[in-house]
Amino acid sequence: MSKIKAENVNVYYGSKQALFDVSIDIAEKEVTALIGPSGCGKSTFLRCLNRMNDVIEICRVEGSIKMDNLELNSRKLDVVRLRENVGMVFQKPNPFPKTIYENVAYGPTIHGIAQSKEEMDQIVETSLKKAALWNEVKDRLDEIGTGLSGGQQQRLCIARAISVSPEVILMDEPCSALDPIATAQIEELIDDLKKEVTIVIVTHSMSQAARVSQKTGFFHLGKLIEFGPTDKIFKNPDNQQTQDYITGRFG
Amino acid sequence: MNLILVTFIILLAFTSYYFGRKKALVIQSSQRLTALPKFYGYYLAAWCAAPALIIFALWSVFEPSIVKTFILQDYTDQNLTKNELQLIYTKVKALAAGTYTGDITNFLDESANKYIQLKGIANSAKVAIILAILIFSLSFAYRSVQKNDRMREPVEIFLKWVLFVASLGAVLVTIGIVFSLLFEAIRFFQAVKIFDFIFGTHWYPAKTFVRDGQPDPELMKDAFGAVPLFAGTFFIAFIAMCVAIPIGLLSGIYLSEYAGRGIRKYAKPIIEILAGIPTVVYGFFAALTVGPFVKEIGNAMGLEVSAESALAAGAVMGVMIIPFISSLSDDVMTAVPQNLRDGSYAMGATKSETVKKVIFPAALPGIVGSILLAVSRAVGETMIVVMASGLAANLTMNPLESTSTITAQIVVILIGDQQFGDPKTQSAFALGISLFIVTLLLNVIALSVVKKYREKYE
């Protein structure tokens, strides 16, 4: 079942066009991987899905992106509600310089989700458990989040993202700053999370895309070259460019 | 003469730089250079200028006192006091320069001739010695250039010492200023008890003035109580901060988080122009525009308002401080990493929530530092207070009355003719050192807070 349907998305940074007529169907409760060489527009596309491009002054998005039939690329859209539903995890772990507890409680607080202290404690605990971080930090929830290791920080950011129970989580190269062990933990986590949420992940690592995703899209020079089941893309792609990229001939 | 000599040394140093570089290129044709050719030039230039200039400086410092000793030797048998000897020496110098108008005694005439003679000898000796040093050091340096010695290290060491001397100079001057304050302050505290100074509530130094004689110690006790001045200083600084902190912080937040690139480009320099306005201009703005304005408004509301109210001075001082706070807090908030903002926006936080919950707390130490720097600036501000807040040291907490500050009192005490050794004059130094201690403490706290903030993100 389709969760997000993008049609003819064009993105411009000032006069420079970064995405050309991208159309893609993202299925519900699946992991969709976006791969491609640096500067190919995959992160730009990802940022369209929660309107993070609004932060960039010179960025302009055209085309239609629908989530459950709600037009995302519209002036009338309530961006705050959208981002409550579409969480994001960034390339570099970016916990706030606050305590671990406050980091996770951030989203529920600003959206007024928890009615009482007990409820908030419950949300923080569930989120940290889902992010596979609870056992490591349960005794030091009042320590500063930036004091954790890189992998723990990234899992804290994932806990922060899932604290508001989003329907979609966007991940922008979530493991590129992490070591192999932390990467394996995050990948395992992605596998667990997809039972409940739709995940779109941008990654530079093709093996990671092959391991975690069900669908893969290959971007090159701002165009979506090929999109399909991960097995097919990696084993028997239709497009020669995809074939070349997968086999490491460029990129 | 001195000017010619120094110019000559400097010109020679420039010449030897080019000469050294040329020489290096010649050496290059036959053997490998030990450094870039310009280092050969620097080496020669440094050896040319540094020894000669150092000797020149030392000579200029010591020559006058040596000449003075020689002249005054002839007067040692006359049992004169130090001041009388000084007077004689001044006369001799004036006579030698042809500007003396008093009675010329034979003895004085003789001394003047001797003075001219000594000066002549000293001058020729100076020129001779410096030329000798130039020749010696240049030939020494030239020999090592010829031998193609290592050139880079000596030049680097020389530069290190130049930088060291410059910073040493700055430090010594600071220490000198502190000590001159300290010694005068100590003399003041010999006349007035430190307890009376710190805890006394009456500041009225003029009443200790007694023509030809020591003032009554009972009067002294009650004339130098600094409490009204400290109170006035902090009161006016407080009013200033009440104006500056909200406006400065809010405009800093606007500039760093809300303003588009276009607005920021123009707004920031315009706000910083406020910091470039001379304080005298703020002073008469406060005294002639804001003061009467406040008085009129107060009178219209039926309040008793002094034309030189603390409110007017404090408000204008606050305006002066706005750019400090807005510019510094803008800088520290801009320095908060973009990925924290992204993290907050991606959670669905609005701009104001992001500022309130993420940016501001992360930047808080830097903001506190900027506020403390601004406070120390407000405490030390002089001109606005002198012009707009009156000079009578009232102990008051009413912003509509006039009050005075430490800085304003120092000005009052030291303008015009003063008598050194008078407690009234010395009290300025005591005030100065207490002001210095206060601002020093504020600066130390501010800097350590700012430093702590830096550690967080590096």
CA distance A164 to A205: 29
Q: Which amino acid would we find at residue A40?
A: C
Q: Kindly state the DSSP code that residue B78 receives in the 8-state scheme.
A: G
B176 inside domain: no
Between CA B274 and CA B281, with CA B278 as vertex, the angle to 5 degrees is 95
Q: Please report which residue ranges of B147-226 form alpha helices under DSSP H.
A: 152-191, 194-199, 217-223
CB contact under 8 A, A80 and B348: yes
Alpha-carbon distance B266 to nearest alpha carbon in chain A (angstroms) = 17
Residue A198 pLDDT greater than 70, yes or no: yes
How does pLDDT run across B314-327, given as a tens digit for each residue?
Answer: 999 999 999 989 99
Q: Kindly state the DSSP code that residue A148 receives in the 8-state scheme.
A: S
Query: Both B91 and B10 in a single domain?
Result: yes
Residue A21 pLDDT greater than 60, yes or no: yes
The predicted model gives B193-202 an average pLDDT of 84
CB contact under 8 A, A161 and B260: no
The predicted model gives A110-131 an average pLDDT of 92
For residue B364, what is the nearest residue in chain A, using CA coordinates? A97
How does pLDDT run across A50-67, given as a tens digit for each residue?
Answer: 999 888 888 999 999 999
Residue B458 pLDDT greater than 50, yes or no: no
Q: Select the residue from A84, A96, A111 to test the B interface by mutation, using most B Cβ atoms within 10 A.
A: A96
Query: Both B13 and B103 in a single domain?
Result: yes
The predicted model gives B291-303 an average pLDDT of 88
Residue B213 pLDDT greater than 70, yes or no: no
CB contact under 8 A, B343 and A94: yes
How does pLDDT run across B108-149, given as a tens digit for each residue?
Answer: 888 888 888 888 899 899 999 999 999 999 999 999 888 888
Estimate the crossing angle of helix B227-253 against helix B423-457, to 10 degrees.
30
Residue A167's contacts (CB-CB under 8 Å, 6 or more residues apart) are A3, A85, A86, A197, A198
Query: Both B229 and B102 in a single domain?
Result: no
Q: Select the residue from A80, A94, A101 to test the B interface by mutation, using most B Cβ atoms within 10 A.
A: A94
Share of chain B above pLDDT 90, in %: 33
CB contact under 8 A, A157 and B342: no
Contact B157, B165 (CB under 8 A): no
Task: State the pLDDT at residue B208.
Answer: 66
How does pLDDT run across B324-346, given as a tens digit for each residue?
Answer: 899 989 999 998 999 999 999 99
Residue B40 domain boundaries:
2-149
3-state helix, strand, coil in chain A (%, to 5): 40, 25, 35
Task: State the pLDDT at residue B381.
Answer: 87
Query: Both B283 and B145 in a single domain?
Result: no
Q: How many CB atoms lie within 10 A of CB A36?
A: 26
Query: Both B92 and B228 in a single domain?
Result: no
Strand partners, A13: A16, A59
CATH number of B373's domain: 1.10.3720.10
Q: Please report which residue ranges of B301-422 form alpha helices under DSSP H.
A: 310-334, 338-346, 351-354, 360-380, 383-388, 406-414
For residue A50, what is the nearest residue in chain B, using CA coordinates? B346
Strand partners, A61: A11
Task: State the pLDDT at residue A106.
Answer: 94
Share of chain A above pLDDT 90, in %: 69
Strand partners, A59: A13
For residue A48, what is the nearest residue in chain B, using CA coordinates? B346
B198 inside domain: no
How does pLDDT run across B392-409, given as a tens digit for each residue?
Answer: 777 878 888 888 888 988
Query: Both B246 and B121 in a single domain?
Result: no
As to burial, measured by CB atoms within 10 angstroms (0-12 exposed, 13-18 middle, 19+ buried), residue A85 is middle
Residue A177 pLDDT greater than 90, yes or no: no
How does pLDDT run across B33-50, given as a tens digit for each residue?
Answer: 888 889 999 999 999 999
Q: Report the number of distinct structural domains present in chain B.
A: 2
Alpha-carbon distance B453 to nearest alpha carbon in chain A (angstroms) = 11
Query: Both B136 and B230 in a single domain?
Result: no
B197 inside domain: no
SS (H, E, C) A13-31: ECCEEEEEEEEEEEECCCE
Q: Is B200 helix (H, G, I), strand (E, B) or coil?
A: coil
Closest Cβ opposite residue B347 in set A55, A97, A106: A106
Contact A96, A161 (CB under 8 A): no
Alpha-carbon distance A241 to nearest alpha carbon in chain B (angstroms) = 33
Alpha-carbon distance B352 to nearest alpha carbon in chain A (angstroms) = 11
Sign of CA dihedral B109, B111, B117, B123: negative
B164 inside domain: no
Closest Cβ opposite residue A55 in set B342, B347, B361: B342
Which secondary structure element, helix H or strand E, spans residue B124, and what is its range? helix B106-146
- Average pLDDT of chain A is 91
Residue B177 pLDDT greater than 80, yes or no: yes
For residue A79, what is the nearest residue in chain B, using CA coordinates? B348
Alpha-carbon distance B332 to nearest alpha carbon in chain A (angstroms) = 15
Query: Both B132 and B231 in a single domain?
Result: no
B172 inside domain: no
Residue A140 pLDDT greater than 50, yes or no: yes
Longest alpha-carbon distance in chain A:
57
| Domain end marker among B149, B179, B213 | B149
Contact B210, B287 (CB under 8 A): no
Q: Please report which residue ranges of A131-229 form alpha helices under DSSP H.
A: 134-137, 150-162, 180-193, 206-212
B188 inside domain: no
The predicted model gives B153-172 an average pLDDT of 94
- Average pLDDT of chain B is 87
Contact B191, B426 (CB under 8 A): yes
| Domain end marker among B132, B149, B166 | B149
Query: Both B238 and B139 in a single domain?
Result: no
Q: Which amino acid would we find at residue A120?
A: M
Residue A215 pLDDT greater than 90, yes or no: yes
Share of chain A above pLDDT 70, in %: 100
CA distance B450 to A62: 44
As to burial, measured by CB atoms within 10 angstroms (0-12 exposed, 13-18 middle, 19+ buried), residue B69 is exposed
The predicted model gives B170-195 an average pLDDT of 90
Query: Both B134 and B242 in a single domain?
Result: no
Contact B222, B200 (CB under 8 A): yes
Closest Cβ opposite residue A88 in set B341, B346, B362: B346
CA distance A155 to A152: 5
B83 inside domain: yes
Verdict on whether the full-model pTM lies above 0.90: no
The predicted model gives B176-187 an average pLDDT of 90
Closest Cβ opposite residue B348 in set A57, A84, A97: A84
B215 inside domain: no
CB contact under 8 A, A57 and B342: no
CB contact under 8 A, A106 and B349: yes
Share of chain B above pLDDT 70, in %: 95
Binned at pLDDT 50, 70 and 90, residue B215 comes out as: low
Q: Kindly state the DSSP code that residue B150 receives in the 8-state scheme.
A: -
Contacts of the segment B180-187: beta carbons below 8 A, 24+ positions apart:
B180/B429, B181/B429, B181/B432, B181/B433, B181/B436, B182/B433, B184/B426, B184/B429, B184/B430, B185/B426, B185/B429, B185/B430, B185/B432, B185/B433, B187/B421, B187/B426
Nearest 10 degrees: CA dihedral of B347, B350, B352, B358? Answer: 10
The predicted model gives B234-247 an average pLDDT of 93
Task: State the pLDDT at residue B212.
Answer: 57
Residue B375: name the closest of B386, B383, B367 by CA: B367
Residues of A in contact with B337 (CB under 8 A): 94
CA distance B79 to B310: 58
CA distance B237 to B438: 13
Task: State the pLDDT at residue B218.
Answer: 67
Binned at pLDDT 50, 70 and 90, residue B284 comes out as: confident
Between CA B381 and CA B391, with CA B385 as vertex, the angle to 5 degrees is 130
Distances (CA, A) of A51 to A11, A25, A61, A66, A78: 12, 17, 9, 12, 10
The predicted model gives A103-117 an average pLDDT of 92
Query: Both B240 and B365 in a single domain?
Result: yes
Structural tokens at position B411: 């000005």
CA distance B235 to B400: 12
Residues of B in contact with A111 (CB under 8 A): 348
CB contact under 8 A, B348 and A160: no
CA distance A173 to A99: 25
CB contact under 8 A, A107 and B261: no
Alpha-carbon distance B371 to nearest alpha carbon in chain A (angstroms) = 22
ipTM: 0.91
Residues of A in contact with B350 (CB under 8 A): 80, 110
CA distance B127 to B130: 5
Structural tokens at position B14: 């420039």
Residue B226's contacts (CB-CB under 8 Å, 6 or more residues apart) are B197, B198, B200, B203, B406, B430, B431, B434
At which residue do the structure tokens 């995302």 appear? A72
Between CA B161 and CA B172, with CA B167 as vertex, the angle to 5 degrees is 120
CB contact under 8 A, B348 and A55: no
Size of interface A-B (CB pairs under 8 A): 68
Residue B99 pLDDT greater than 90, yes or no: no
Query: Both B320 and B420 in a single domain?
Result: yes
Lowest mean pLDDT among A182-191, B301-310, B350-359: B301-310
| Domain end marker among B101, B119, B149 | B149
The predicted model gives B256-261 an average pLDDT of 87
Q: How many CA atoms lie within 13 A of B33 on its CB side?
A: 20
The predicted model gives A60-82 an average pLDDT of 90
